[in-house]
Structures are given as C-alpha cells and as structure tokens.
Structure 1
Amino acid sequence: MIKHFLLTLIFSFFISSCAKPSEHQEKVSNHIDHKSINKPQNSYNDDETLKVTTEGDDLIVVYKNKKEIYKNLIVNEMSVSTELIQNNDRGFSLLYDQNASSTKIKEKYDFTCSDTGILLMDKEIIKFGPDGLMMNRLYVDNFNLLNKTYEDLQSIGAELPDRFEQDSPSMSVYDSENILFAIQNFQNSPEDFFISYPDVKNGDLKISNVESANNQAFHLEKTGANQQSKILLEQIIRQFPDRIVAYLNLADVLWKIQDHDQAKIHYAKYLSLMKSQNKNLSKVPQRVYDRIE
C-alpha cells in the first residue's frame, strides 16, 4: 500500500513539473511577444493614402479624405500628351511629352502631399534631337500646385543652360537656387534613354557641391519627401563619409519612415564623429541621445 502511494505521488509530481513552464521559458516567451508588438508598421493611415485621377483636363487629388481639383493640368492635344504616374502613398508625377519639332521634349514633375497641399519636389526636362540629348533636374522649394497652370510648370528652370551630348547621357542636377551640385551619368545611348524615359535605371550620381546637396536633402525631408531625401543623403555619406551633419539628417529621415534600427546606427555614427572631430557636443540635439538608448 505504502509503495503504491509513493509511486502515485512521484508520478503526479512528474506530470505537474512538465506542465508548468520554467522561469526561463516564460521570459523568452514574453520577449518574443514584446518584439512582435514593436514591429515597425506603415507610418501612414488609410485616410492618408493618396488617390490621384484625371478627368478631362483636370487633375483630381484625394488626400486625407479631402478632394482638390487642379484645373487644366492635363494636356492632350496634337503636339503634347500627359501621363499620370502614381509613385507611392504620398507622391505622384506628371509626364508631359512634346513632339512638335525635330527636338523632342519630355518634362517630368514629381509631387508630394503635405498638410499644406500638393508640393512640387523637382522637375526633370529631357530634350532629344539633332544636337544630341540634354537632361536637367531642378529641385524646387515652396511651389504649391494650387492655382498653378501648365504654363507655370513649364517656366520652371527655363533659365538653366541646355547641355547637349552625343555620347553617353548625363543629367545636370541643380538645387532650388539653380546651383549645379551633381552630375548623374547613365549607360544608355541617348536615343534609348529618351525612348525609355522615365523607365530607366538610376545612373551614377557624382556630387560636386556637398553643401548644396545636403541642404537640398534637408529640405526634401522637411516637406515630407523622405524617400527622395534618403536616397540623396545616402549618396552624400558614400562620397563624403566625414560629412557629420549628413548622418544626423539621414538618421532623422530613417526615424520618420520607421526604420529605427538603421536610424540608431546613424545617430551613433553622428555622435561618434562629433566626438572624434572635437566638435561642440552641446550642439548635439537631445533626440540623438534619446533615440540611441
């Protein structure tokens, strides 16, 4: 009887110990749940999704459940055609194709949505004809699309020089003050580039004025064009690895787009360079310390 009782007691204790999780197992489980809760998510709500359509000559934009109609921006006639290109949740482009003369022209305007309206980020103009291929990109500040016309868009960058090339095409890149700060080289032939544009692979960007490039990237971030700012800042850091402020600007952009892990890396790099170059640490923003913890 006693032997049977002891066997029963031992068996019950064994079953109980198997069913109860250990302290280590419970901590691991909680850690996994915590990570899943903090998984980066889309930073835009459904009502922030951009919807762009055309109706006749008008461009219709719905953003944050607000509808705006931009008159006479869609031009489709014998010598000019317009294509609407939806880029992402907050951006779109208008591509105008002009073929009235022996020199063909394509103009692309990239827009982003903000709380103040539809803002023009940059304009690219491509010309192809007997003289070869010419390409300019001009970044634009403080250009709200409200009450603007097709003629207003065309006038942007009209004062920039036309630099035609017969060989491998290259694009001159200007900041919003018409300062040339980079050249972007492409591998296509001029004719192939023009025919394929804008569906062409990114060329090699060579920055010649890093201050203008950094200022332009900073402005893009402030207007909500985070992806465009990120691309430019990554190029700055690659070509000018000691450019301290670029790490801070890139970290801020990455934080905005919810890439917190990469943002922390660049905040830490910014702080490290500030120390190694004996900069005034009192100028380090408090958010840097807060976000790398």
Structure 2
Amino acid sequence: MDRDNLQDAVVLKKGLLNIHFGNKTSDNFELPEITALINTKIGYSNPYEITVYYIGDRGLYSTITIFYKKGWYIRNVNFYNPCQECQDQNFKILTKSMNIPVKNIDSEMLDIDSKGFKSLTFFDQQGVIKPYKDLKKLYADVSSYPLLANSFNESVISDFKKKFALSLSNLDDYNNVAYRLAENGNQKGAIELLQQIINKFPTRAVAYLNIADSYWNIGEKEKAKVNYKKYLSLMKYQKKDLKKIPKYAEKRAK
C-alpha cells in the first residue's frame, strides 16, 4: 500500500499482468517469456511508482517498474542473473529504459536482448549455492536480490551449511546472510542459520536479537520472548553499549 492508503495489487491472470494502483484505472500487459512464472512481488520507489518482481522456475527473474501519470507507463525493465560466479558475467544485470504507455506495449518490446530472456545464462534452483566460492559475494547477492533470498529452502540451506562450514572467521558473514534472509521475508531460513550460530557461539548477543525478531515476525511470541531476554542479558553481562538496544526488544521481552 502506498501513501494514499488505498490497496494496491499486481495480479497475474490468463498470462496478463493486471496492475491496480489504489483507485487509479487498472491496466494490463503481457510479461516477457522467462519459462514458467511462479511468483510476483511488489515494491515501491515513490508513492506513484511500483516495481514488480517476478521469477521463473529455474532461478531466472526480472523486474518491471511501472508508474502512473494520467495513465500507466512502463519506466524500465531489468533482467537479473543472481549468480556472481557464473561463467558469463555480461548478463548480471541488463536494463532497458522505456517510458512508454502500457497500452502501447507488447511483450516483445520488453525483451532485453535480441534473443530474448531464454538466451541468458542462469542456474537451476537446486544449484543455487554451487557457483559461489566466496561467502561475501553470496551475501552481497542475497542482499541485492530478494527473490534469491526466497529460494533458500531446506535443500539450499543444507547445501549452504555443507559448503560454508560455520567458523569464527566467517561468523559475521553467516549472521549477515541470516539477517538478510529475514529482511527479505525468509524467516524460516534465517532461524535455521541463526540457531546454528547460537549453538556454536552461545555468547553472540546479536544472534539472539535476530532470531527473536524472526520468531516474532512469524507469530511465535513465546520463543521470541525467550531470545529477547537472552539478548538483553548478554548485552548487560558483556557491558555493551545499552543505548544500542532497540526499544522494542525490551518491550517484547516482558
């Protein structure tokens, strides 16, 4: 929902993307072919502009930015290959600026290169972790691409743990990946990684705060409360700067 307090929606129906922006007139257009479409999400860059994130069935995804100014316009389309370690780096991000009314758009105009999306290099869902040699690069991509974070299911988490064994040297990066998973809505994946951190490094205060936030966000308030209390206790015991404690943590711990 944007600042007009009216419900906004992006709905995929019969191959067309229908956009409803508050009380503004709805319009629709056909998305470029990126194999089977399995998910769409909405983001905002300003009150009259929305970005639609959509994903195909093999990790391939794109964004289309739409704005309303006396009618619907497509500002640009971006294709993202969320694999920094893939052999062909030319296809990491491709952008096509448009500023064309939706009513004048056809799906071919949204193709980014002359061969279309299917010509681009991408990986299978089961191979998300395999291309990465550097945990920092993986963290950077998880931070930049929300839909990559959402792909961290049980299988991907298992691959992640096997490839990047938790140690003191990568503890910060591990915690950062978990934090970004939570920020992008993947609370289950975040909890799995944070619990591993707590089991191996039980005095890491911030891990308790992060896992408490994730439990709170999925409605498991009692588990959240236990971890908020542990976080507050460690902050005091370790003589950390108590001014950095979020006010909500103290409130939720009661």
Q: TM-score, normalised by structure 2?
A: 0.49
Query: Which fold has the larger relative contact order, with Cα–Cα distance below 8 Å and residues 6 or more apart in sequence?
Result: 2
- The two structures have a TM-score, normalised by structure 1, of 0.44
Flag the structure with larger Rg. 1
Higher helix share: 2
